[in-house]
Structure 1
Amino acid sequence: MRWSQTLIPTMKETPADAEIPSHQLMLRAGLIRQLMAGAYTYLPLGTRAIRKASEIVRQEMDRTGAVELSMPALQPIELFERTGRRDAFGNVLINFPIRRRDHNVHLALGPTHEEVVTDLMSRLISSYRQLPMTVYQIQTKFRNEERPRFGVLRTSEFLMKDAYSFATTVEQLNESYQKMYDAYCRIYSRCGLEFIPVEAESGPIGGDASHEFMIPADNGEDRIVRCDSCGYAANLERADTGRNHQAPASTENQPPPETVDTPGLGSIEAVANFLKIQPSEMIKTLIYLADDKPVAVLLRGDHEANDGKIRRALSAQTLEMADNATIERSTNAPVGFAGPVELKIPILVDHDVSLMSTAVVGANAEDKHTTGVVPGRDFTFDTTFDLRNAEAGDPCPKCESKLEFVHGIEVGHVFKLGTKYSEALEAEFLDEKEQRHPLIMGCYGIGVNRIIAGLAETCHDENGLIWPVSVAPYEVELIPLNVSDPEVMKHAESIYSELQQAGIDVLMDDRDARPGFKFKDADLIGIPLRIIVGGKGLKEGIAEIKWRRGGDAEKIPLAEAANDAINKIQAEQNRLSNQ
């Protein structure tokens, strides 16, 4: 492609509303333009990068034995009502009524396709002999993102690869899950991304096991807990604190508890300041509704509750903070004064609470707290649980090292769904005994746009983007320094033709512009390999070849320049494919 024949609207200045490097550089390098909040047009360079990432995804999906299909983005709202996800998605689900002839039809734009694919398989799968099976698509999804930001990282319309596996047994599900997990690792390696697979919560999508794939990035919205020694990694919702149950500290020689007035002081910080103690010397008593029944959760005052861990510890289907009326009914006190002593509802105790020798707790009375409370003496419990968010410095659950936090951008997620959707939508198979069972499902998503944005966020320098060869819009940029010089253009056209014949994606900057201007644009758009023809090199019969990622330029005879570039590109492609 010749620069003069395509559309690459580069920008010198950084747009004021672009907050992070990926957004700034994708705008400045002419990859995208915003239509409205949450919706972007992909210009030629951006479209080519998206297409190349999609093709890598497609190749690796095919390699696992998954088969490609294409499902409609327009979906009947009834499917979401049958699975309960209309309420679970809330305002995120874009849905609307339309008029057809003499009646109304309520539709949704697909945020994902669990409902659609399960409904499809309920009609097409009948026997265990047809399973296992995995299908996938690469298609646009729609979600009403209330705070679109960070360019294409958080939008209302985005390109996603979603795959769905169907199995007769948990063993078949695990096999499909592992194939997808391995495929994701190959995809991100081939795309040139640094990535971390992390243990994750399944969230509103359902299921009982999942992993997220994260790109470590300073501007990532997700926090990853990881151990640099053994490789353990999990998101904040899932991360284990590395602690185990221990018997309560000794209660010998501890004075009895004492109730003190704390007028109007219902928060941990306010009470700690009033009593001149640290929040870590207090126990917070949180009242939840687990499957609509009240339960108290005890944490050290400086720790944050982890709802996913609490739900799992209780084996609860639903978990939410109790309303004020429930709290007052359960504790006989307003919000902020609950405590475990003589509490009449079940209590769940975090590991760290049992290690406290004494603590300050709510007194279950308005404007009062109790000091000198000893866990195990003044309130009893049989065991403890990991109920809080992990913190930097917590012990790694897999080795002897300490956990640390990094920020990350999520680019993929794999789930073991089980039978949540197949039961709701009656997707069943007949086993060898002619008995019916629900299909056992897995779900596997990749944000293709996020691959490109993640690369822009992490692969750049002060001058612009630095694309890996595998997803670069073009692999080689050919820069003739003086397009008015017939001798320069003769050699440039020869190199251009050789590269194209070898299947190399090449962009020739044939603009009549100063060399410095072209070099700045070349740095900005970040094509991996650059060939410069003209200037002193032309008199010496050489071209300069240089990697955008750095290093010295090589002087190659003009007649060998194309072949040298071809070899370099092929070697780099092989390196990425074999990581």
Structure 2
Amino acid sequence: MRASRFFISTLKEAPSDAEIVSHKLMMRAGMIKRLGAGIYTYMPMGLRVIRKVEAIVREEMNRAGAVELLMPVVQPAELWQETGRWNKMGAELMRVKDRHGRDFAIQPTSEEVVTDVARSELRSYKQLPVNFYHIQTKFRDERRPRFGLMRGREFTMKDAYSFDRDVDGLKKSYQAMYDAYVRIFTRFGLEFRAVAADNGAIGGSGSHEFHVVAATGEDALVYCPTSDYAANMEAAEALPVDSTRGAATQALEKTATPGKSKCEAVAELLGLPLARTVKSIVLAVDNEDPAKKEIWLLLLRGDHELNEVKASKIPGLSTYRFANEAEIVEWFGTPPGYLGPIGTKKPVKVVADRTVANMADFVCGANEADFHYTGANWGRDLPEPLVADIRNVVEGDASPDGKGVLAIQRGIEVGHVFQLGTTYSEAMKATYLDEAGKPQPLVMGCYGIGVTRILGAAIEQNFDDRGIIWPTSIAPFEVVLCPMGYDRSEAVKTEIDKLYAQLSEAGVDVVLDDRGERPGAMFADWELIGVPHRIVVGDRGLKDGNIEYQGRRDTEATQVPLAEALAFIQGKLAA
């Protein structure tokens, strides 16, 4: 590719609405152009990266035995109504009507459509297993689209769906996809981590997320450096800090804590560690009959935080909301800040985190303004609670596998694999006939990769103050040739054209910058764009028979004999 025949549109400054590094750099490098909120045109430079990501995904999906098809972006509402997701998805699902008034969805994912394909095409156990995938445009009507391609409304995703006879078959298909994802992200050249995850709205029995590790990531990844344990924060198991409960050594006392409504302030006033305090979180569960509304009190150690996903897993709390102040006063007799499990005004359901359940002589609210109880103990001062893991883990917690302690790093989710089971096949009556001729529900798996999100995640992991640093495998170009005086020096033109032809014939994705730009502007463009390998050819170097090589991460250039340039570059690309 010659730069004069391509489209390069770099900017010195990012638009004011660009918030994070990847968004700013993609806009500055001319890779995307904003059309509307969360909607972008992929410009030629950015599209080259997308196509390379897609190529790697396709190769590994095909290698894993998946079969490509292409499902429509616009899907009939009837399919979504069969599974109940037409209403369950909420406002994120873009709904439209055609000229006849019929309802359609702009697909955010394709479980319903692929299950419809399966129920009409997969009739016998002899056709199983099978895995269909496609790479297709998706649309999710984000309430607040932001961060460029990281949280846009329109995006490209690879989604695959496996169909098996039984759970054992699903596990094999799931493992095949898990292994394929490891190969995909390894080939991308990114540092990544696969973590156990919550299934969320997709449903099913088990899942893993694939995260690109980046300090700017939205998600907290929990892992044990001395074992294989890894999970996202939502799914990471929090063991009790103390394995057993100590004996009570203090009497229960109602202690004045005027104006101290936070655990931190109470601990400071009483001269106690924050870890001796217990904080109260009040949840409400509504019922069709308002008189049967349920109020729940969740108890956490003062320095711990509630994990809302874990809370929703407690039987009876799947539809919880946080209680309002009027409800709190009605059930506890006091405004928030002094709440506790002892002496509530009306009965509440108490759930203690595992750590709180093993605490003795703790401090909690007295359900009276300006007062807390000290020396509170389970069994003696209040009934034994329902015990559940409801907190976020913290660094230094014991690993659930017993092989060390937990650490936390930030990550950007770019892939997710699910064991769906029969969630969709049962709802849509997708069955096959077994050996006995009896219908059985298809057992499904679901596997997604955010193709366009990969671009943002890769940049968040790989950049400096000059611009993007692409891994070679997904860079828009592998090598850029920068001539010094291409239109002024016949020697430079001759040698760089020859090198360009050699590299092209060798299958190297090379771009020759023949635009006639000044060296400073030319170098700045390609450093911003992030091409990983740069060759400079100039009269000065040619007099000594050399060209100049500099990798995008290198601080200095290297002189390379002109006669060895092709082999040198091939060696760098193979490294």
Superposed pair shares fold, TM > 0.5: yes
- Mapping of residues 172-321 of structure 1, within 5 Å: 172-243=169-240, 246-251=243-248, 253-255=249-251, 257-259=252-254, 268=263, 280-288=275-283, 295-314=296-315, 318-321=319-322
Q: Which amino acid aligns with 1:147?
A: R
SS state of the match for residue 112, structure 2? Answer: helix
**Residue from 545, 548, 552 that aligns with 1:548:** 552
Question: Structure 1 residue 266: deviation in Å?
Answer: 6.6
Q: Report the 3-state secondary structure (helix = DSSP H, G, I; strand = E; otherwise coil) of the residue aligned with 2:162.
A: strand
1:462–1:331: structure 2 CA closer, same or farther, 3 Å change rule? closer
Determine the structure 2 residue equivalent to 1:95.
95
1:141 positional shift: 0.6
CA distance 1:365–1:126, shift in 2 (3 Å): farther
Q: Equivalent residue for 2:52?
A: 52
Distance 2:86 2:279 in 1: 34
Distance in 2, matches of 1:360 and 1:558, equals: 76
Q: 2:447 aligns with which of 444, 448, 459?
A: 444
SS in 1 for 2:473: coil
| Kept in 2: contact 1:244–1:386 (CA 8 A) | no
What is the aligned length?
566
Residues 115-135 of structure 1 show CA distances to partners (whole Å, capped at 9, x for unaligned) of 221222122222222222111
Deviation at 1:194, TM superposition (A): 0.3
Residue 504 (structure 2) pairs with residue 503 (structure 1): no
Match of 2:136 among 132, 136, 139: 139
Are positions 1:518 and 2:522 aligned together?
yes
Structure 2 match to 1:404:
407
TM-score relative to the length of structure 1: 0.89
Whether the aligned pair in 1 keeps the contact of 2:255 and 2:371 (CA below 8 Å) is yes
CA distance in structure 2 between the aligned counterparts of 1:366 and 1:542, rounded to whole angstroms? 81
C-alpha separation between the residues in 2 aligned to 1:270 and 1:99?
62
What CA distance in whole angstroms lies between the structure 2 residues aligned with 1:118 and 1:400? 41
Q: Give the Cα–Cα distance (whole angstroms) in 2 for the partners of residues 562 and 246 of structure 1.
A: 63
1:247–1:354 CA contact under 8 A, matched in 2: no
1:43 and 2:39 matched: no
Distance 1:366 1:491, change over 3 A: closer
The residue that corresponds to 1:577 in the other structure is none
Is 1:568 the counterpart of 2:572? The answer is yes
Conserved 8 A contact 2:299-2:352: yes
The answer (yes or no) to whether the contact 1:468–1:528 under 8 Å persists in 2 is: yes
Q: Superposition pairs for residues 346-495 of structure 1, below 5 Å?
A: 346-363=349-366, 369-381=372-384, 384-399=387-402, 401-484=404-487, 485-495=489-499
- Contact 1:245-1:383 at 8 Å conserved across structures: no
Change (3 A) 1:285 1:193: same
Q: Structure 1: how far apart are the matches of 2:241 and 2:188?
A: 40
> What letter corresponds to residue 103 of structure 2 in structure 1?
H
The answer to whether the 8 A contact 1:248-1:375 is kept is no
In 2: Cα distance, 1:382 partner to 1:297 partner: 10
State the match for 1:575 in structure 2: none
* Greater CA drift, 1-10 or 449-458: 449-458
Q: Which stretch of structure 1 is more off in the superposition, 535-544 or 70-79?
A: 535-544
Q: 1:390 aligns to what SS in structure 2? A: coil
Deviation at 1:555, TM superposition (A): 3.6
Q: Which residue of 2 aligns with 1:576?
A: none
Indicate the larger mover: 47-56 or 73-82. 73-82
Write the distance in 2 (CA, Å) between the matches of 1:464 and 1:111: 32
Contact 1:341–1:378 (CA under 8 A) maintained in structure 2: yes
**Normalising to structure 2: TM-score of the pair?**
0.90
2: distance between equivalents of 1:360 and 1:259? 10
Is the CA contact 1:327–1:334 (under 8 Å) kept in the aligned structure 2?
Answer: yes
Which AA in structure 2 matches 1:69? L
Task: Provide the rounded CA distance (Å) in 1 between the counterparts of 2:316 and 2:435.
Answer: 33
Higher deviation after alignment, 278-287 or 137-146: 278-287
Contact residue 240 and residue 358 of structure 2 kept, 8 A: no
Distance 1:122 1:439 in 2: 9
Letter in structure 2 aligned against 1:305? L
Aligned residue type for 1:425? M
CA distance in 1, matches of 2:384, 2:102: 55
Q: Using the alignment, how far apart are the partners of 1:264 and 1:452 within structure 2?
A: 50
Conserved? CA contact 2:241–2:397, under 8 Å: no
Q: Which amino acid aligns with 1:284?
A: K
Q: Percent identity?
A: 46
SS in 1 for 2:236: coil
- Given that 1:76 and 1:106 are in contact with CA atoms closer than 8 Å, whether structure 2 keeps it comes out as yes
Q: In the alignment, residue 363 of structure 2 is paired with which amino acid?
A: V
**Which runs of 5 or more structure 1 residues have no equivalent in the other structure?**
573-579
Give 1:336-351 correspondences, 5 Å limit: 339-341=340-342, 344=347, 346-351=349-354
Q: 2:114 aligns with which of 117, 126, 142?
A: 117
What is the letter of the counterpart of residue 84 of structure 1?
G
Letter in 2 for 1:309: K
Distance 1:565 1:334, change over 3 A: closer
Distance in 2, matches of 1:65 and 1:5, equals 39
Cα RMSD (Å) of the superposition? 2.9
Structure-2 residue corresponding to 1:21: 21
Residue 399 of structure 1 deviates from its aligned partner by 4.2
Letter in 2 for 1:517: A
Alpha-carbon offset, residue 322 of structure 1: 5.3
Q: Which is further off, 81-90 or 273-282?
A: 273-282
Query: CA 1:247 to 1:478, structure 2 compared with 1: closer, same or farther past 3 Å?
Result: closer
Secondary structure of the residue that 1:99 maps to in structure 2? coil
**Aligned 8 A contact 2:227 2:403 in 1:** no
